[in-house]
């Protein structure tokens, strides 16, 4: 019966089982979530919508999930989808018969094309009865828009957009326009979508049990029940190993969520979410954390993470840290593959760092040199900066996933399956010793060789590869920490302050935020105005003004007092920031409640380092990490004192 769930009334409405899910159900769900502030409430609304869709028409679940993520395909498929503002304005003008000039004017005031379209359409009388949009139709149309190519593609796209705009009703229009811009702007993070999905799939597998009680059948309150929590873990583990909703959703619907660990296995062509490392404050801390365990140290190279896949059909794919397909950016690496794999190898997944390399001096070059390479497609003849791949892991070989093997075992397989090639393909430099002096020397050597420091990894116990996890199995020691600085933070510019004097006509400073994963909100952490070149200031002015939102989004925690920015931006970029230290702050809300019940944490003397092209805003440094860095800073002062007495 819960098939007939109306997110507004939480009551039964007349949908028929088997009927295609109306897009209106999703649009109303988004509308409600946009008005909610609590993450749990949003997740609960979404859970019930997903359950409704499964009961109505399970085939609609996959497109519905994509629509919740404002995407039409996984990121790694590289389908460009966002429609530019100018085209969208033209389409809105055509479908509402409002002159383009007027649309631009209203847009300037409202700052959201969705609102512009909606306000106009409200006052329009329909001459023709609109077609009822379904989730399937909307998704397919969006996909057709994304895939339209060739000389008529602009026209085709505009026709398809027009079809959606003309036939949308009520709040459908607002969310369609925003989806066309790849942003729902309701603060619905991917994590919530996946949690709600996992719960809905679990409840579906156990529907007999949960439908016994008619009250439960209507609406499940979003309580962190033990079995639901377990279901979420199973789902997330599977999704980190094989982030493909196309595979996972049908698998769960058919076999039940519990079957995922057996059936959902790493596959070349689908990037695994990379394993991450915990920062440490130096060798002492590493030895404490890993005491009793066998471990290894590797150079921490300063380049770009590259996950290299050789598919069964011998196609090579390269994915970034963010799981974006960047194969076209590295034709030189693609060409290298037949030379470095041994003959018996017909498929693999490698984890590595691509580093700029000077073939004459045989030296590793700093990250700044690598960043001068083209960001997108490039022809091999145009490449000026040579790359050497430093491979540190193998995750799959000849049809077998190696994730559950220990690092020690994976290393043997790596060495038996590939040949090193001077200056192009090398195994990461390593040293297996737990002697403090050896490690210290190795760290110096790494820094002399233009590396960032060391990665220390467990070898035998607790040494499986854990996709997407940041655990104590991988620790990093960066040379910067040793200079008494904190690690850099990856933060999101959420607001801008108009510049004066030399910076007039641009933003003179920005409000930065970390991401709070528990509440799915951005929490302000500092203002910043230092470290920007003139080019950066100009570039950010141009880029960020496209992301201005008319008012502070509900999912932003702003600073107290006078630090309100002149404009707010939707989360769209991640910047790497270095600061002198972190301090408890009555003004900034970052990590509030984690180290002090009423106060947050602020950065002191922040300085801009670079844009993190390989991170999305939700991958910014999170509040727990900020709190951990604050605490470590305190511990570190103690450790440093101890260190002084020892040496």
Binding site for ligand ATP (CB under 6 A): 276-277, 298-301, 305, 321, 353, 392, 428, 455, 476
CB 316, min distance to ligand ATP, A: 19
**Closest CB to ligand ATP among residues 15, 299:** 299
Helix, strand, coil percentages in the chain from 3-state DSSP, rounded to 5? 45, 20, 35
CB 619, min distance to ligand ATP, A: 7
Beta bridge partners of 325: 319
- Distance set, CA 69 to CA 73, 74, 606 (Å): 10, 10, 32
Contact between 623 and 516 under an 8 Å Cβ cutoff? The reply is: yes
Burial label for 314, CB within 10 Å (0-12, 13-18, 19+), is exposed
Residue 79, token pair as written in the block: 């389908």
Beta bridge partners of 507: 498
What whole-number distance in Å separates Cα of residue 275 and Cα of residue 351? 9
What whole-number distance in Å separates Cα of residue 93 and Cα of residue 293? 66
**Closest CB to ligand ATP among residues 202, 474:** 474
Which among 28, 236, 273, 300 is annotated as catalytic? 300
CB 301, min distance to ligand ATP, A: 4
**Closest CB to ligand ATP among residues 188, 455:** 455
**Closest CB to ligand ATP among residues 204, 410:** 410
What whole-number distance in Å separates Cα of residue 255 and Cα of residue 253? 6
**Closest CB to ligand ATP among residues 53, 477:** 477
CB 49, min distance to ligand ATP, A: 32
**Closest CB to ligand ATP among residues 54, 455:** 455
Contact between 567 and 552 under an 8 Å Cβ cutoff? The reply is: no
**Closest CB to ligand ATP among residues 325, 353:** 353
DSSP track, 450-512: T--EEEEEE-STT-S--TT-EEEEEEEEEHHHHTTPPPPEEEEEEEEEE--GGGTTSEEEEEE
What whole-number distance in Å separates Cα of residue 387 and Cα of residue 373? 10
CB 443, min distance to ligand ATP, A: 13
Name the one residue in this structure whose structure tokens are 């570039």.
Answer: 539
Residue 142, token pair as written in the block: 């969006």
CB 203, min distance to ligand ATP, A: 33
**Closest CB to ligand ATP among residues 276, 324:** 276
If one counts every other C-beta atom within 10 angstroms of the C-beta of residue 155, the result is: 10
Q: How many residues does the chain have?
A: 647
CB 533, min distance to ligand ATP, A: 21
What whole-number distance in Å separates Cα of residue 484 and Cα of residue 637? 9
CB 393, min distance to ligand ATP, A: 7
Element (H, E) at 300: strand 295-300
How many whole angstroms from its chain centre is CA 513? Answer: 16
Residue closest to ligand ATP (Cβ): 305
What whole-number distance in Å separates Cα of residue 173 and Cα of residue 118? 6
If one counts every other C-beta atom within 10 angstroms of the C-beta of residue 71, the result is: 19
What whole-number distance in Å separates Cα of residue 407 and Cα of residue 615? 26
Burial label for 464, CB within 10 Å (0-12, 13-18, 19+), is middle
Phi, psi (deg, nearest 5) at residue 242: -140, 80
What whole-number distance in Å separates Cα of residue 439 and Cα of residue 431? 8
Identify the CA nearest to 567 among candidates 492, 491, 498.
498
* End-to-end CA gap in the chain: 72
Contact between 187 and 554 under an 8 Å Cβ cutoff? The reply is: yes
Identify the CA nearest to 201 among candidates 47, 66, 74, 42.
47
615 is catalytic: no
What whole-number distance in Å separates Cα of residue 421 and Cα of residue 234? 40
**Closest CB to ligand ATP among residues 253, 413:** 413
What whole-number distance in Å separates Cα of residue 76 and Cα of residue 436? 41
Contact between 304 and 353 under an 8 Å Cβ cutoff? The reply is: yes
CB 93, min distance to ligand ATP, A: 43
**Closest CB to ligand ATP among residues 5, 319:** 319
**Closest CB to ligand ATP among residues 300, 599:** 300
Catalytic residues, by residue number, are: 300
């Amino acid at each position: 019966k819960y098939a007939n769930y109306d997110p507004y009334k939480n009551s039964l409405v007349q949908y028929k089982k088997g009927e295609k899910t109306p897009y209106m159900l999703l649009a109303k769900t988004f509308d409600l979530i946009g008005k909610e502030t609590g993450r749990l409430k949003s997740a609960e609304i979404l859970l019930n919508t997903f359950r409704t869709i499964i009961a109505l028409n399970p085939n609609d679940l996959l497109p519905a999930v994509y629509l919740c993520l404002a995407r039409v395909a996984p990121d790694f498929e590289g389908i460009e989808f966002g429609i530019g503002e100018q085209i969208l304005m033209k389409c809105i003008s055509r479908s509402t018969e409002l002159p383009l000039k007027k649309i631009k004017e209203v847009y300037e005031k409202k700052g959201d094309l969705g609102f512009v379209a909606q306000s106009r359409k409200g006052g329009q009388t329909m001459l023709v009865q609109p077609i009822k949009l379904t989730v399937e139709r909307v998704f397919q149309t969006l996909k057709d828009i994304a895939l339209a190519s060739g000389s008529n593609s602009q026209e085709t796209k505009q026709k398809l957009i027009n079809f959606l705009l003309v036939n949308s009703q009520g709040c459908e229009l607002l969310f369609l326009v925003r989806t066309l811009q790849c942003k729902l702007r309701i603060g619905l993070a991917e994590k919530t979508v996946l949690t709600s999905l996992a719960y809905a799939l679990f409840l579906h597998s156990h529907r007999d049990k949960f439908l016994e009680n008619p009250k439960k059948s209507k609406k499940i309150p979003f309580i962190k029940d033990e079995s639901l929590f377990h279901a979420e873990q199973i789902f997330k583990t599977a999704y980190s190993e094989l982030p493909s909703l196309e595979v996972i959703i049908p698998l769960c619907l058919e076999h039940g969520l519990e079957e995922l660990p057996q059936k959902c296995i790493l596959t070349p062509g689908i990037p695994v979410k990379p394993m991450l490392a915990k920062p440490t404050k130096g060798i002492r801390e590493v030895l404490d954390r890993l005491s009793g365990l066998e471990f290894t140290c590797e150079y921490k190279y300063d380049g770009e993470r590259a996950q290299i896949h050789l598919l069964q059909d011998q196609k090579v794919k390269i994915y970034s840290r963010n799981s974006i397909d960047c194969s076209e950016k590295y034709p030189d690496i693609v060409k290298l593959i037949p030379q470095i794999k041994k003959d018996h190898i017909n498929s693999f997944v490698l984890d590595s760092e691509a580093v700029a390399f000077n073939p004459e001096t045989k030296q590793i070059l700093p990250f700044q040199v690598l960043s001068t390479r083209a960001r997108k497609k490039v022809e091999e003849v145009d490449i000026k900066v040579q790359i050497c791949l430093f491979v540190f892991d193998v995750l799959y070989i000849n049809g077998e996933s190696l994730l559950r093997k220990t690092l020690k075992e994976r290393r043997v397989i790596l060495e038996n399956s590939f040949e090193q090639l001077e200056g192009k393909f090398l195994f990461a430099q390593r040293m297996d010793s737990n002697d403090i002096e050896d490690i210290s020397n190795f760290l110096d050597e790494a820094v002399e060789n233009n590396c960032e420091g060391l990665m220390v990894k467990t070898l035998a116990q607790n040494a499986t590869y854990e996709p997407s996890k940041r655990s104590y199995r991988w620790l990093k020691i960066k040379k910067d920490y040793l200079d008494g600085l904190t690690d850099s933070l990856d933060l999101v510019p959420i607001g801008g302050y108009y510049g004066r004097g030399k910076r007039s006509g641009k933003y003179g400073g920005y409000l930065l935020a970390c991401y709070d994963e528990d509440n799915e909100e951005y929490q302000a952490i500092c203002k910043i105005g230092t470290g920007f070149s003139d080019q950066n200031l100009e570039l950010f002015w141009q880029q960020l003004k496209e992301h201005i939102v008319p008012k502070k989004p509900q999912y932003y925690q702003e600073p107290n007092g006078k630090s309100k920015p002149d404009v707010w931006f939707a989360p769209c970029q991640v910047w790497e920031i270095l600061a002198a230290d972190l301090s408890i702050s009555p003004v900034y809300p970052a990590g509030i409640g984690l180290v002090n019940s009423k106060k947050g944490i602020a950065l002191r003397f922040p300085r801009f380092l670079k844009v993190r092209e390989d991170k999305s805003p939700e991958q910014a440094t999170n509040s727990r990490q900020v709190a951990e860095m604050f605490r470590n800073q305190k511990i570190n002062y103690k450790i440093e004192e101890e260190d002084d007495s020892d040496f």
